Amino acid sequence: MSFLYCLNPEKHKLRKWREDNHRNSEQIVDVGEELINEHASKLGDDIWIIYEQVMIAALDCSRDDLAWTCLQELKRQFPGSQRVKRLAGMRLEALEKYEDANKQYDSILQDDPTNTAARKRKISILKAQGKSAEAIRELNEYLEQFVGDQEAWHELSELYINEHDYGKAAFCLEELMMTNPHNHLYCEQYAEVKYTQGGLENLELSRKYFAQALKLNNRNMRALFGLYMSASHIAASPKVNATVKKANVKYATWATNQINRAYQLAGRGTKENKCSVKAVEEMLESITMS
Amino acid sequence: MAEPELLLDSNIRLWVVLPIVFITFLVGVIRHYVSILLQSDKKLTLEQVSDSQVLIRSRILRENGKYIPKQSFLMRKFYFNNQEDGFFKNTKRKVVPPSPMTDPSMLTDMMKGNVTNVLPMILIGGWINWTFSGFVTTKVPFPLTLRFKPMLQQGIELLSLDASWVSSASWYFLNVFGLRSMYSLILGQDNGADQSRIMQEQMSGAAMAMPADTNKAFKAEWEALELTDHQWALENIEEELMSRELDLDGMFSKELPMGIF
């Protein structure tokens, strides 16, 4: 990190998007294209990383011309670079030339077996071709080597959810929850997976994790609704004893009150809001808890 | 003070103190760029990367295991520590202790380290001692005992001089360590001019020699994991959550992006 004098507000915007990992590709293409065409000389050494950022955004927006220009410039400046090879592979992927892209990534892996980026691109090729079973298998092998890659764990959980293999998806989400204990979104996703799995034990777990997500972020409405749903399902189940039922009814009532409060706050009693408040109340009352 | 203050010639300030500061600083900057030129790529094998990540995962399991359900925690603990086929029990890595003689890359690394850091310091320290000798340069603001005299007052042959008055060589060494923060301001965080950091690394280098210690690291993790118990953090989560109303402040302000769902 050295001093970066942001002479250009556009450059500053691009840097912020790059650091925050935003995927607003159309904006990046607009801003970046202008920067590259008009102000290339003023950017100095930053231009290379901007080329990379704009190229990926251009691939997202199907701007093959712009992507090709960026790639050429990068190839000229960094002839033997693996990072540039990966970008070339991504362009081939965008053109659906999967065979060539695979060859490109294999050559990177021959030089450097520890290169994670190339391996992950190969897996996403499988995903793009719809071969989810193979993608899952490859991703599992990848994760055996690189257990710490959180992005990969998240991707694997998504693949499992698509295959309706909720048990394994829950395992992946547990890894993510352990490495990011304060992230309420992982807790909420985990709770949703457990809720979908069903069964009394899983419902209890899901209720607990919805509560955890709420504790980490009081404003997570989805978790609040999830808490209400899981609590009322447990209360409505015939297999529970009276104390458990009473406790869950209490939880569900509390959740109802909070939901009502939130809807009251939204819009502060404007006309449109009154309808939605009424709708929520009716919905809550309609799920009977005997 | 026990004795009258010494008044130093202001020429000393102009021709000794400031030049030494400049010299130290410039030498540091040059060292930084030289170390960048001489940098060698450290290639890690796949196995090393994989092992370090496994150790991290096991550590995370120990520290944050309380956030996942008990069953999941036990499942993972079993995977690592099981008597017959647990990962830590079974995996033995081929251990090659990287002694300087057998491993040529370590030898060149050590040599480069010495050349860029220790040698200039000795050379320039000696040169400054020889050039700027025979007079008092500056005074350290805290009192020192007489034991420091031979160390800090190299060229000054005065028996009764307070040990706080030091020679130019000690001013040079003060600068070497004091300019560290200047280097991080100008050259960025991981700069090659950072003497004390390099010395720290050399001292802890033995502790960090991962290849030799993989088996030991695994054993240590195994023991630590055996001792870990699962205290589920979510035991009473509902009571804790529902003890007070939700804080919905700022939930519906216009500026908030649609990220709540």
Which residue ranges make up each domain of chain B?
14-35+109-198
Three-class SS of residue B1? Answer: coil
Question: Which pLDDT score is estimated for A163?
Answer: 94
ipTM for this prediction: 0.81
Q: Residue A262: its chain B contacts at CB < 8 A?
A: 246, 248, 251
Question: Which pLDDT score is estimated for A134?
Answer: 94
Dihedral angle computed from the Cα positions of residues B80, B82, B86 and B88, in that order, rounded to the nearest 10 degrees: 60
Q: Tell me the average pLDDT across B46-66.
A: 88
How many A-B residue pairs are in contact by the CB < 8 A criterion? 94
Q: CB distance B234–A209 less than 8 Å?
A: yes
Question: Which pLDDT score is estimated for A266?
Answer: 74
C-alpha to C-alpha distance for A182 and B164, rounded to whole angstroms:
53
Q: CB distance B49–A145 less than 8 Å?
A: yes
Question: Which pLDDT score is estimated for A91?
Answer: 93
Higher pLDDT among residues A46 and A210, named by residue: A210
In this prediction, residue B189 has a pLDDT band, given cuts at 50, 70 and 90, of low
Radius of gyration of chain B (CA): 29
Q: CB distance A148–B61 less than 8 Å?
A: no
Q: Looking at this protein, which amino acid is placed at residue A95?
A: L
Q: Residue A181: its chain B contacts at CB < 8 A?
A: 64, 67
Question: Which pLDDT score is estimated for B207?
Answer: 36
Dihedral angle computed from the Cα positions of residues B99, B104, B110 and B114, in that order, rounded to the nearest 10 degrees: 140
In this prediction, residue A166 has a pLDDT band, given cuts at 50, 70 and 90, of very high
Q: Looking at this protein, which amino acid is placed at residue B230?
A: H
pLDDT at B197 over 70: no
Higher pLDDT among residues B163 and B18, named by residue: B18
pLDDT at A137 over 50: yes
Question: Which pLDDT score is estimated for B82?
Answer: 80
Asked if residues B201 and B46 have their Cβ atoms less than 8 Å apart, the reply is no
Task: Out of A176-185, A205-214, A259-268, pick the least confident.
Answer: A259-268
Q: What length does chain B have? A: 261
CA atoms within 13 A on the CB side of B115: 10
C-alpha to C-alpha distance for A73 and A84, rounded to whole angstroms:
10
Question: Which pLDDT score is estimated for A208?
Answer: 93
Question: Which pLDDT score is estimated for B211?
Answer: 47
Asked if residues A209 and A201 have their Cβ atoms less than 8 Å apart, the reply is no
Q: Is B259 exposed, middle or buried (0-12, 13-18, 19+ CB in 10 A)?
A: exposed
Both tokens assigned to A49? 């990383």
pLDDT (tens digit, 9 = 90+) per residue, A237-257? 888 888 988 899 889 888 888
Asked if residues A206 and A230 have their Cβ atoms less than 8 Å apart, the reply is yes
A199 touches chain B (CB under 8 A): no
Question: Which pLDDT score is estimated for A54?
Answer: 92
Residue ranges of A 83-122 with Cβ closer than 8 A to chain B: 113-114
A270 touches chain B (CB under 8 A): no
Q: CB distance B45–A114 less than 8 Å?
A: yes
pLDDT at B209 over 50: no
pTM of the model: 0.73
pLDDT at B87 over 90: no
